[in-house]
Structure 1
Amino acid sequence: MRKPEILAPAGNLEKLKIAVDYGADAVYIGGGRLNLRAFSNNFTTEQIMEGIKYCHDRGRKLYVTLNVFPRNHDLEGAESYIRELYEIGVDAVIVADPSLVAICKEVAPELEIHLSTQANTVNWRAVKFWYELGVKRIVLARELTFKEIKTITSYMPNGCDIEAFVHGSMCVAYSGRCLISNYMLGRDANKGICGNVCRYKYYLVEETRPNEYYPVVEDDNGTYIMNSKDLCMIKHIPELIESGIYSFKIEGRMKSEFYVASVVKAYREAVDSYFKNPYEYEFKDEWMDILTKISHRKYHTGFYLGINGEENYDESSYLRDYDLVGMVKEYDEETGVATILQKNRVFENDEVEVLRAEDPYFKVTLTDMFDVDKNVKTDVANRAHMVFKAKVNKPLKKNDMLVKASKKLTL
């Protein structure tokens, strides 16, 4: 049994490094063209090269998404772009459309191809079809159950890998193939500019009764017929592994560095714990504790367990119990003083929790705060990206994340 890959999202170079540092085996990013995240900070060629070096120096991999469904004009320059990605050393490209599979085979036949979840692969014959066309890995549609996945992996050709999402936002549409946003707002979900109109509140109006609104489904919070909960499979690591899925994919190229670090850490520890001794594996509550600290919608197991319908839908608000308030840039062991990059407002004498790749959460208190930018003592760090120093009562390390319980529980 192969140890599965933990595959993390990286919306920019900083998040890429955080994902790797917190235990990801591979990262997926968007380049300057043909990817489904128009609003994220997509990588330039130079940044991709830096990301490749950072990954390869640490024995990790980097994949580039080319997962749009291109119109004719989108294909202009695709050959040179794909050839460039191969030449600079990306480990694979993730595509959804047959045109890009064909271009990859034509201009870079040695480049590994992964098929995006956007292609809606839901059966073993489709897996075999794509593999025979030269696709090395299939990212399954998110609508599949464990039973269906086991059938797929039992018929899977030798040399083919299966990847599946295990954590993150879900879509009301079939693997993200959604036209609602385009229809209502002119923002094409399949070009990365979805307006998330499935999160809106909807009512039914009868033609001859204007301004009389009838709720479709209602609870104490409102009407939510399309607001899917967030996927979270941290409690089902053995089932994921035994199903034959090789790559555990985390959603979230547009999520924060706090999100990336937390989710990667939780799944890394869970997978490592299983492979240390599968027969004595036990789920640890601390992994779920890590995942509940980040901004998220209510968690659900998606379609894996065959449970869907109304149980998978809820209000659109995020739960946000903790904020990332700072990242440690330096720590002086002699003085016990940390240099910190501010991420959210934090006060002198605040007790904060420390998120670190290799250790459980622990708490420190920030005292004797000093504003490095203004060269004055301060009792609050309240400017975006402010650099400040603070004395702490426990040793810290570079890139430790400092988080604090938030008074604002919903966003």
Structure 2
Amino acid sequence: MNKKKVELLAPAGDLERLIVAAEYGADAVYFGENRFGLRSGVGFTLEDIRKGIQYLHDRGKKAYITVNIIPHNDDFKGLSDYVAFLGDNGADGIILSDPGVLSVVKEVAPDVDVHLSTQANAVNLRSILFWYRQGIKRIVIARELSLAEISYISQNIPDDLEIEAFVHGAMCISYSGRCLLSMYMTGRDANKGECAHPCRWEYALYEAKRPGEYFPIEEDERGTYILNSKDLCMIQYIPQMIDAGINSFKIEGRNKSSYYVATVVGAYRKALDEYYKKPEAYEFKEQWLDELKKASYREFTTGFYLGKPYESQNYKTSSYIRNYDFVGMVLDYNEKTGLATIEQRNRVFKGDKVEIIGPYRDYFEQVIEEMYDEEGNTIDVAPHPQQLFKIKVKNRVKPYDMLRRKKV
């Protein structure tokens, strides 16, 4: 068993999501500017990164910055200045996959810890010890390893080398994300953060001598999604993950919404806190899994952790399962009036039954019986994106609490 408590590591695609991750219980957040990370659509500016690092440090949490592209020569332009900026602003770790990038970090910011990205495909002890000798402080283990393999590795590495592993989120059909399918089919390079996700598309079998005839690979008139993986979910196996020697539980999803981050981080936080209260008496609670299913998800899989994933593909659809709508975020609460100021995220009506969630507590339900605009006028609907409105709430709320509504 790990002597230190396992770190809960959350993704963030912009400053709001970073704050949400921290507020809902993440011990650390990984994020970065889009030039050198594998999510081209993230919204961090250099100033946002500076603010994000400071926000996390003020709360005793850590900031890990993604610099994990597989770079060509031109991709090194501006890298030294960026790494120097990260070092000057107190980044706790830089996540990378390329030896060339590692050399830049060692030259420019030698005091910043370096984490090896899952993109480097570290699947064996010898490779991991090689990277350790190059100055790597943490290995983001490849997704293709079982708990037994990870346990063997953790028992045979130096005490100051940490293991980080994904516990939740989207899975990739290729080896830990090293994929050329997107580049081949769309010209968008997945290894530079521009994946078009062709693994999620619908496919059919085509025979060259029968032009125009497409044969479904499964018994489905629309074809089949033969490359489409289910989402990883290991919340039911927290003791086994800890016993395997994993130091950091990583949640995938830098392109996911603030609501997704809040829901998933909150569920894992509750499970981990319950475990550490009394590990020998720990029992999994089905409500944690139910909570995860209130965020958008594909069907769940345990990936490679329990053995070869023979049932990890969803051949019928690549669509997400969405049972709830995120309808608003709390900005402010007036103790005297009981009115909460909400920023709308989806159309919401007077009379709607909503669940209100917040960090470190269970959600509560209520019907929206009173609804006002910013001037205090009674309204029946908040139809405009990010519209501010007020509602009467039956329990105390605080900023970054969220409203969700079950789909009918």
Quote the residue 1:60 is aligned against.
Answer: 61
> How many Å separate the matches in 2 of 1:237 and 1:259?
20
Quote the residue 1:214 is aligned against.
Answer: 215
5+ residue gaps, structure 2, are: none
Kept in 1: contact 2:83–2:108 (CA 8 A): yes
> How many Å separate the matches in 1 of 2:193 and 2:310?
26
**Alpha-carbon distance, 1:289 to partner:** 1.3
Which amino acid is 1:102 matched to?
A: S
Quote the residue 2:118 is aligned against.
Answer: 117
Cα distance per residue 1:220-261 (max 9 Å; x no partner): 874121110000000000000000000100000000001101
User: SS of the residue aligned with 1:155?
Assistant: coil
Is 1:33 aligned with 2:39?
no
Quote the residue 1:275 is aligned against.
Answer: 276
Kept in 2: contact 1:296–1:319 (CA 8 A): yes
Kept in 2: contact 1:326–1:341 (CA 8 A): yes
Is 1:336 aligned with 2:338?
yes
Which amino acid is 1:63 matched to?
A: Y
> How many Å separate the matches in 2 of 1:100 and 1:52?
21
**Alpha-carbon distance, 1:108 to partner:** 1.6
Cα distance per residue 1:374-402 (max 9 Å; x no partner): 76321011100000011223332222101
The worse-fitting range, judged by mean Cα deviation, of 120-129 and 396-405 is 396-405
> How many Å separate the matches in 2 of 1:222 and 1:133?
47
Which amino acid is 1:385 matched to?
A: Q
> How many Å separate the matches in 2 of 1:84 and 1:311?
41
Quote the residue 2:224 is aligned against.
Answer: 223
**Alpha-carbon distance, 1:93 to partner:** 0.4
Which amino acid is 2:350 matched to?
A: E
Aligned pairs for 1:83-98 (under 5 A) are: 83-98=84-99
The worse-fitting range, judged by mean Cα deviation, of 265-274 and 329-338 is 329-338
User: SS of the residue aligned with 2:362?
Assistant: strand
Kept in 1: contact 2:327–2:348 (CA 8 A): yes
Kept in 2: contact 1:217–1:224 (CA 8 A): no
Kept in 2: contact 1:365–1:393 (CA 8 A): no
User: SS of the residue aligned with 1:309?
Assistant: coil
Quote the residue 1:286 is aligned against.
Answer: 287
Which amino acid is 1:236 matched to?
A: Y
Quote the residue 1:253 is aligned against.
Answer: 254
Is 1:165 aligned with 2:166?
yes
> How many Å separate the matches in 2 of 1:196 and 1:62?
28
Which amino acid is 1:405 matched to?
A: K
Which amino acid is 1:358 matched to?
A: Y
**Alpha-carbon distance, 1:55 to partner:** 0.5
Kept in 1: contact 2:180–2:189 (CA 8 A): yes
> How many Å separate the matches in 2 of 1:210 and 1:32?
42
Is 1:49 aligned with 2:54?
no
> How many Å separate the matches in 2 of 1:371 and 1:65?
41
The worse-fitting range, judged by mean Cα deviation, of 270-279 and 215-224 is 215-224
Cα distance per residue 1:35-60 (max 9 Å; x no partner): 1111121x222111111111011100
Is 1:360 aligned with 2:362?
yes
Cα distance per residue 1:255-283 (max 9 Å; x no partner): 00011011111111111111110111000
User: SS of the residue aligned with 1:143?
Assistant: coil
Identity %: 53
Quote the residue 1:298 is aligned against.
Answer: 299
Which amino acid is 2:333 matched to?
A: Y
Which amino acid is 2:70 matched to?
A: F
The worse-fitting range, judged by mean Cα deviation, of 183-192 and 362-371 is 362-371
Kept in 2: contact 1:218–1:224 (CA 8 A): no
> How many Å separate the matches in 1 of 2:335 and 2:376?
21
User: What is the RMSD computed on CA atoms of the aligned residues?
Assistant: 1.3
> How many Å separate the matches in 2 of 1:32 and 1:394?
40
**Alpha-carbon distance, 1:71 to partner:** 0.4
**Alpha-carbon distance, 1:296 to partner:** 0.6
TM-score, normalised on structure 1? 0.96
Kept in 1: contact 2:216–2:222 (CA 8 A): no
Quote the residue 1:198 is aligned against.
Answer: 199
Change (3 A) 1:221 1:363: farther
Kept in 2: contact 1:364–1:394 (CA 8 A): no
Which amino acid is 1:321 matched to?
A: N
Is 1:327 aligned with 2:297?
no
**Alpha-carbon distance, 1:219 to partner:** 4.7
The worse-fitting range, judged by mean Cα deviation, of 244-253 and 265-274 is 265-274
Change (3 A) 1:385 1:285: same
Which amino acid is 1:169 matched to?
A: A
> How many Å separate the matches in 2 of 1:22 and 1:310?
32
Quote the residue 1:108 is aligned against.
Answer: 109
